[in-house]
Structure 1
Amino acid sequence: MDSTSSSAYHRHRRKDKVVVIMGATGTGKSKLSVDLATLFPFSEIINSDKMQVYRGLDITTNKIPIEERLGVPHHLLGEVDPVNGEFTPSDFRSRGGSIISDITSRRKLPLVVGGSNSFIHALLVDQFDTESDVFDGSSSTSISSELRYNCCFLWVDVSFPVLSDYLSKRVEDMLDLGMVDELAEFYDPEAKDLEDDSAHRTGLRKAIGVPEFDRYFRKYPPARGLLSAAMVEGTDPKGEDNHLRKGAYEEAVTAIKDNTCQLVKRQIGKIFKLKRSGWDLRRIDATEAFRAAVTSESGGSNKKRWSEIWERQVVEPSVKIVKRFLKE
């Protein structure tokens, strides 16, 4: 089939339906995907977060825990061995496309979920140029609105000030869950010369939290890969140089929070670029739910209020959009 015939075929063939849940980091995409998958039980989830595809650092990359997946099948979530090098947008297009074909062949609905817009773009566009980064300001290549699937886009959005407060709280929660011990086990002192050069970091070494705490571990190497919370934070009265250690720890935590917010800004910029290019993104405003989440405590009335707002303002409109999409 020549290129002209191939192009005509792709334009007129019946396209598989795919639901895409996108948005900045921390906006509840994983939760919404499971909520929808339980309401549309013929669904399977394909992760499109470029750090969560790798095996390892489950806390640091904020992978949804198994118990919160509620039995919904997840694909490309912690499946890629980081020792095999970078998992590129081209790799994601190939693997993701095969998974979508398998899911649709079984008459099920693929839910593509994640914040890595370069992965989403690579997977969905009809013609993908592996040599061009359409999100790079210096690129002359425009973003195409010609997609190889029939897509329903749900853009979960939260106002930046509210999301920033929530992400700060989330970092603290991740630390409480053991993120520092996880990073201490991952720490590679042999790679220390590369950590400040982002161009040389690959795979999981790009994950926010890794370079920030690698700088800490260079000053205060972890003993046998693990550190007690008291020693990390410099609160152990028997520890040496506690004041400096605590300062270095707080510097790493602050850097993680700042870099996460910078990531959010970049992600939002890419989403707006996709929307301006003709992608039909349906914005779901989750701001009020996250405003309640920032002040919620386990078992408290605010937690119940958060759940109610999430259901009313995020889940219900998303369900209506997906139902209409599936009936088309």
Structure 2
Amino acid sequence: MNSSATHNHHSNQPKVKLVVIMGATGAGKSRLSIDLSAHLPRSQVINSDKMQLYNGLDITTNKISLDERKGVRHFLLGDFDSIGADVEPSEYRSTAAFVIAEIASRGDLPVVVGGSNSFIHALLVDTFDPEVDVFAAGSGSVSHVLRYDCCFIWVDVAWSVLRDYLCQRVDEMLDSGMLEELAQFYDPAKVGVLVGLRKAIGVAEFDKYFSKYPPWETAENGLVPQLGSDTARREAYEEAVRDIKDNTCRLAKRQIGKIMKLRAAGWDLTRIDATVAFRAVTAKKKEKKNNSESDSPDVWERKVVEPSVKIVKKFLEE
């Protein structure tokens, strides 16, 4: 048996305790992990977002910035080369397990955070078969026997609210420089090559746009076509943005479906409903008022952070 399949409970040692924050893309997992650290100062974050493993495209993959981390140590965030082969679930299992062991050996709390449920499953199950995709239709049941003592927090948001937020977030990412980032990443020789970081939502959608309107030809007049300046180019740009929003929503739905399958298999996922907090933020952003988010931090703290802290502290005392 290889090292990645070693079972903790086969020895007399107790299983390592870890917190796992799950949820669809955009549901606030990273934010919650940082907020938890204010109450759990020895917590350290292990990324389990597939695209955020890779180095590059920080805006497009929505990596948490250094400032946003507030000094909390993060692992497996931008650590892998974006060129070449994909990071497979089995590689993530062994790499993340090593990090967890290192964190636990120092008496700190490992917190696994991310939306790639295939990686979370691979990491946590006692016995992992890399040849079987447990999330594929007709693949059979998911094991509920885990090799760690896990506290699962599932950050959930009502679909209509999450959908609106995800569409807003795409617009905000574009305002933050996503298009410029993708223009620098664009390589005509690699259009259609979906491997590693090139699988990130935004790459293929804007590759299609840049294939028609290469960034080095349009940069002088701005990468984003102005309204009324070039109708065909503007329509191509808006199509790419629509596709990014649609594909992001499809990803979120797939992620929720995988979470539901894990829960149905007996994984003890505690659902935290963040809908009220998200509804407040989304509505106030639409109003575009100067004080648009003045109340939202309090709602987030009351509805999401406080119940999560109680859950984790109870888990650690057991």
Q: TM-score band, normalised by the shorter chain?
A: over 0.9
What secondary structure is seen at the aligned counterpart in 1 of 2:231?
helix
What secondary structure is seen at the aligned counterpart in 2 of 1:52?
helix
What secondary structure is seen at the aligned counterpart in 2 of 1:213?
helix
Query: What do you get for the CA RMSD once the two structures are aligned?
Result: 1.9
Return the match for 2:312 from 283, 297, 322. Answer: 322
Question: Counterparts of 1:310 and 1:294 in 2: how far apart (Å)?
Answer: 13
Q: Are residues 10 and 261 of structure 1, via their aligned partners in 2, closer, same or farther at CA, if it must alter by over 3 Å?
A: same
Contact 1:44 1:108 in 2 (8 A): yes
Match of 2:171 in 1: 172
Question: Counterparts of 1:170 and 1:28 in 2: how far apart (Å)?
Answer: 12
Residue identity in the other structure for 2:293: K
Give yes or no for the alignment of 1:256 onto 2:252.
Answer: no
Match of 2:49 in 1: 49
Contact 2:7 2:147 in 1 (8 A): no
Contact 1:155 1:284 in 2 (8 A): yes
What pairs up with 1:221-300 in 2 under 5 angstroms? 221-223=214-216, 227=219, 231-235=222-226, 242-297=230-285, 300=290
Question: Counterparts of 1:80 and 1:114 in 2: how far apart (Å)?
Answer: 16
Match of 1:151 in 2: 150
In the TM superposition, residue 84 of structure 1 has moved relative to its aligned partner by 4.0
Contact 1:232 1:246 in 2 (8 A): no
Q: Per-residue CA shift, 1:97-130, capped at 9, x if unaligned?
A: 0000000000000000000000000000000001
Match of 1:198 in 2: none
In the TM superposition, residue 82 of structure 1 has moved relative to its aligned partner by 1.2
Contact 2:7 2:126 in 1 (8 A): no
In the TM superposition, residue 202 of structure 1 has moved relative to its aligned partner by 1.1
Question: Counterparts of 1:267 and 1:50 in 2: how far apart (Å)?
Answer: 12
Question: Counterparts of 1:250 and 1:317 in 2: how far apart (Å)?
Answer: 40
What secondary structure is seen at the aligned counterpart in 1 of 2:222?
helix
Match of 1:308 in 2: 298
Residue identity in the other structure for 1:219: K
Match of 1:115 in 2: 115
Q: What TM-score, normalized to structure 1?
A: 0.91
Q: Per-residue CA shift, 1:112-169, capped at 9, x if unaligned?
A: 00000000000000000011000011324x2111100000000000001000000111
What secondary structure is seen at the aligned counterpart in 2 of 1:107?
coil
In the TM superposition, residue 235 of structure 1 has moved relative to its aligned partner by 1.2
Match of 1:63 in 2: 63
In the TM superposition, residue 231 of structure 1 has moved relative to its aligned partner by 3.4
Question: Counterparts of 1:7 and 1:311 in 2: how far apart (Å)?
Answer: 37
Contact 2:8 2:14 in 1 (8 A): no
Question: Counterparts of 1:158 and 1:25 in 2: how far apart (Å)?
Answer: 10
**Percent identity over paired residues:** 57
**Unpaired segments ≥5 residues, structure 1:** 196-200
Residue identity in the other structure for 2:199: K
Q: Per-residue CA shift, 1:173-221, capped at 9, x if unaligned?
A: 00000101100111110022x25xxxxx111111000000000000001
Contact 1:232 1:245 in 2 (8 A): no
In the TM superposition, residue 236 of structure 1 has moved relative to its aligned partner by 7.8
In the TM superposition, residue 58 of structure 1 has moved relative to its aligned partner by 0.2
Q: Are residues 104 and 7 of structure 1, via their aligned partners in 2, closer, same or farther at CA, if it must alter by over 3 Å?
A: closer
Q: Per-residue CA shift, 1:263-287, capped at 9, x if unaligned?
A: 0110000000000000000000000
Contact 1:53 1:77 in 2 (8 A): yes
Contact 1:184 1:227 in 2 (8 A): no
Give yes or no for the alignment of 1:16 onto 2:16.
Answer: yes
What secondary structure is seen at the aligned counterpart in 1 of 2:207?
helix
Match of 1:137 in 2: 137
Give yes or no for the alignment of 1:191 onto 2:184.
Answer: no
In the TM superposition, residue 48 of structure 1 has moved relative to its aligned partner by 0.3
In the TM superposition, residue 233 of structure 1 has moved relative to its aligned partner by 3.0
